[in-house]
């Protein structure tokens, strides 16, 4: 079954009790038990809910994993996955990482005795050099946020497996349509479902999919213990958004490619970051492990004044935090997604005050380019 068909027909499209072509929103906190000697599948909604189960089953199938988990936010998913580790463990993590992940690693989990080493994961040698005797995890984003750096997943996973290290990949930028890290050997994949999975800027949610039954048992214990689960209405909205993932991502990619090519020709633009450009570092590696360039690109302008003026003048887009909606979302990483990272660290990583990140939407690309052109004059 091809991916587009699997989005619609995966065993979670029909309510088994009524035949409704949409799994109902089971807005219930608890469930009646007719036989107290044999508690049923559902007892308390933190532990399990039919609507959430449908979403978790769907994302597990789309990522080719053993089991999926739905959380109250992308950061709840990431935090729950990091809770698999213990005091004294060491995790190697890509330095060009989402600011919320940087914050949780350096402000919370380090207090629990978990050590993090940040590396340029696009340089495989840096990953290998950072491995220590107590290294238990390798956390990657590829493409990374916000500079779209590419990590060679196959080579990184080889290093991890030689050292008995769990590999976690944040797949939010590409979704399972363009990239399947578990198929490449990763152990856990995480998503901010807020982004392309739900796809309409109306849900906050997170997802995780694991490759083994052992990890499934461990992560379920954490999910059930913390209780940071996605509510049934948001699960239903996410299921609905998922059905159009393929058609949205196809249009996004076409638009992103055209916009990136146009930005290369604009005299105000200094650099453009997009995996679909042949000039992009890691372009060939990216297309060996992914089937598309995705919908997110970044670019730098020549001055801060130009950057602020562009953000204030650009029309027919949302200037906002987040990405992955049907509308084009223009973000300013130093004030938004990466504000939690200290300025000196941001500058060292190349996250400049002149950097703009764009998540393209479903607008006609000609209108989008015209809007950008006017704002850059």
Q: Determine contact, residues 152/127, Cβ cutoff 8 Å.
A: no
Please give the share of the chain, as a percent, with pLDDT higher than 90: 93
- Out of 20-29, 53-62, 318-327, 346-355, least confident range: 346-355
Indicate the pLDDT class of residue 159, thresholds 50, 70 and 90.
very high
Indicate the pLDDT class of residue 339, thresholds 50, 70 and 90.
confident
Indicate the pLDDT class of residue 288, thresholds 50, 70 and 90.
very high
Residue-level pLDDT at 162 = 98
Q: Which helix (H) or strand (E) holds 211?
A: none
Question: What mean pLDDT comes out for the span 270-278?
Answer: 98
Question: What mean pLDDT comes out for the span 104-132?
Answer: 97
CA distance 279 to 258: 15
Q: Determine contact, residues 233/87, Cβ cutoff 8 Å.
A: no
Question: What mean pLDDT comes out for the span 200-206?
Answer: 98
The two tokens of residue 99 are 């600011």
Res. 345: pLDDT tops 90: no
**CA distances to 43, 192, 251, 374 from 206, in Å:** 23, 5, 24, 36
DSSP 141: E
Residue-level pLDDT at 236 = 98
Residue-level pLDDT at 341 = 83
Residue-level pLDDT at 260 = 98
User: DSSP of 282-314, one letter per residue?
Assistant: THHHHHHH-S---SEEEEEES-HHHHHHHHHH-
Res. 171: pLDDT tops 90: yes
Q: Determine contact, residues 269/260, Cβ cutoff 8 Å.
A: no
Question: What mean pLDDT comes out for the span 258-279?
Answer: 97
CA distance 104 to 78: 9
The two tokens of residue 263 are 């930005």
Tell me which of 89, 170, 187, 234 is the catalytic residue: 170
How many CB atoms sit inside 10 A of residue 107's CB? 10
Residue-level pLDDT at 349 = 86
Question: What mean pLDDT comes out for the span 131-149?
Answer: 97
Res. 292: pLDDT tops 90: yes
Residue-level pLDDT at 204 = 98
- Asked about 302 being catalytic, the answer comes back as no
Question: What mean pLDDT comes out for the span 121-131?
Answer: 98
Which residues, listed in sequence order, are joined to residue 25 by a DSSP beta bridge? none
Indicate the pLDDT class of residue 347, thresholds 50, 70 and 90.
confident
CA distance 292 to 374: 29
- Asked about 195 being catalytic, the answer comes back as yes
Indicate the pLDDT class of residue 122, thresholds 50, 70 and 90.
very high
Tell me which of 46, 240, 258, 309 is the catalytic residue: 46
Tell me which of 149, 195, 246, 248 is the catalytic residue: 195
Q: Determine contact, residues 245/196, Cβ cutoff 8 Å.
A: yes
Residue-level pLDDT at 220 = 98
Positive or negative, the CA dihedral 20, 23, 27, 29 is: positive
Question: What mean pLDDT comes out for the span 137-141?
Answer: 98
- Asked about 103 being catalytic, the answer comes back as no
- Out of 41-55, 260-274, 330-344, least confident range: 330-344
CB burial string 8-20: b at 16+ within 10 A, e below: eebebbeeeeeee
CA distance 346 to 367: 32
Q: Determine contact, residues 119/94, Cβ cutoff 8 Å.
A: yes
The pTM of the full predicted model, rounded to 2 decimals, is 0.96
DSSP 90: E
- Out of 48-57, 69-78, 332-341, 353-362, least confident range: 332-341
Indicate the pLDDT class of residue 45, thresholds 50, 70 and 90.
very high
Closest C-alpha among 336, 326, 316, 271 to residue 298: 271
Q: Which helix (H) or strand (E) holds 355?
A: strand 355-359
Residue-level pLDDT at 177 = 98
CA distance 23 to 240: 10
Tell me which of 26, 89, 96, 98 is the catalytic residue: 98
Mean of per-residue pLDDT scores for the chain:
96
- Asked about 46 being catalytic, the answer comes back as yes
**CA distances to 61, 154, 240, 257 from 7, in Å:** 9, 26, 10, 25
């Amino acid at each position: 079954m091809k991916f587009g068909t699997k989005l619609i027909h995966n065993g979670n499209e029909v309510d088994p009790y009524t035949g409704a072509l949409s799994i109902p929103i089971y807005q219930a906190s608890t469930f009646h038990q007719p036989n107290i000697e044999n508690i049923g599948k559902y007892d308390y909604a933190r532990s399990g809910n039919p609507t959430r189960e449908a979403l978790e089953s769907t994302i597990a199938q789309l990522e080719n994993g053993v089991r999926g988990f739905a959380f109250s936010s992308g950061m709840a998913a990431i935090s729950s996955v990091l809770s698999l580790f213990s005091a004294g463990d060491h995790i190697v993590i890509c330095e060009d990482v989402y600011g919320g992940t940087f914050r949780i690693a350096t402000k919370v989990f380090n207090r629990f005795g978990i050590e993090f080493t940040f590396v340029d994961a696009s340089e495989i040698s840096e990953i290998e050099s950072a491995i220590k005797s107590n290294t238990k995890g390798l956390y990657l984003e590829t493409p990374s946020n916000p500079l779209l750096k590419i990590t060679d997943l196959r080579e990184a996973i080889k290093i991890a497996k030689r050292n008995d290290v769990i590999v976690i990949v944040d797949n939010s930028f590409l979704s399972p349509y363009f990239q399947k890290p578990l198929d490449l050997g990763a152990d856990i994949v995480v998503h901010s479902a807020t982004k392309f999975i739900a796809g309409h800027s109306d849900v906050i949610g997170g997802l995780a999919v694991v490759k083994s039954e052992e990890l499934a048992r461990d992560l379920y214990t954490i999910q059930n213990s913390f209780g940071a689960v996605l509510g049934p209405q948001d699960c239903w909205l996410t299921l609905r958004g998922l059905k159009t993932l393929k058609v949205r991502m196809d249009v996004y990619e076409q638009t992103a490619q055209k916009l990136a090519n146009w930005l290369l020709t604009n005299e105000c633009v200094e650099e453009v970051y997009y995996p679909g450009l042949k000039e992009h570092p890691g372009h060939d590696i990216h297309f060996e492990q992914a089937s598309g360039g995705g919908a997110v690109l970044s670019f730098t302008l020549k001055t801060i004044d130009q950057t602020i003026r562009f953000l204030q003048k650009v029309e027919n887009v949302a200037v906002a935090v987040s990405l992955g909606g049907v509308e084009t979302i223009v973000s300013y990483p130093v004030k938004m997604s990466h504000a939690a990272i200290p300025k000196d660290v941001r500058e060292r990583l190349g996250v400049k005050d002149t950097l703009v990140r764009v998540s393209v939407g479903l607008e006609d690309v000609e209108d989008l380019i015209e809007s950008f052109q006017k704002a850059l004059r």
